[in-house]
């Protein structure tokens, strides 16, 4: 199956956001036994919506690089975990 590059990039960013959201939720609830609001646990999904609205285009800007958004998603998930524990 031949998937266009833009669709593949969207799927990769979505997969990272979903994986980070699940990992964050499981780590906070079962690993660290920390009770936080659902909005805090869903923070990696907010980065994905930011990518959908801000990170897509054809200007050639590095801001449109899907790898940047995947890295930002991981950083937000880790930062949220640290914030919840502290």
- Give the global pTM: 0.87
Contact predicate 25/36, CB 8 Å: no
Residue 18: other Cβ atoms inside 10 A: 14
The reported pLDDT for the residue numbered 31 is 87
The reported pLDDT for the residue numbered 5 is 87
Extract the tokens encoding 24: 């964050």
Enumerate residue ranges in the chain where pLDDT < 50.
none
Q: What does the alpha-carbon distance between residue 86 and residue 80 come to, in Å, rounded to a whole number?
A: 10
The reported pLDDT for the residue numbered 79 is 96
Collapsed DSSP state (helix, strand, coil) of residue 31: helix
The reported pLDDT for the residue numbered 15 is 97
Closest by Cα among 19, 73, 18, 81 to 47: 73
Handedness of CA 44, 50, 53, 59 (dihedral sign): negative
> How much of the chain exceeds pLDDT 90, in percent?
64
């Amino acid at each position: 199956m031949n998937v266009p590059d833009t669709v593949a990039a969207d799927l990769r960013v979505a997969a990272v956001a979903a994986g980070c959201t699940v990992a964050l939720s499981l780590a906070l609830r079962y690993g660290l036994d920390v009770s936080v609001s659902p909005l805090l646990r869903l923070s990696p999904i907010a980065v994905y919506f930011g990518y959908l609205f801000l990170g897509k285009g054809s200007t050639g800007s590095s801001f449109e690089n899907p790898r940047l958004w995947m890295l930002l998603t991981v950083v937000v998930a880790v930062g949220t975990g640290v914030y919840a524990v502290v």
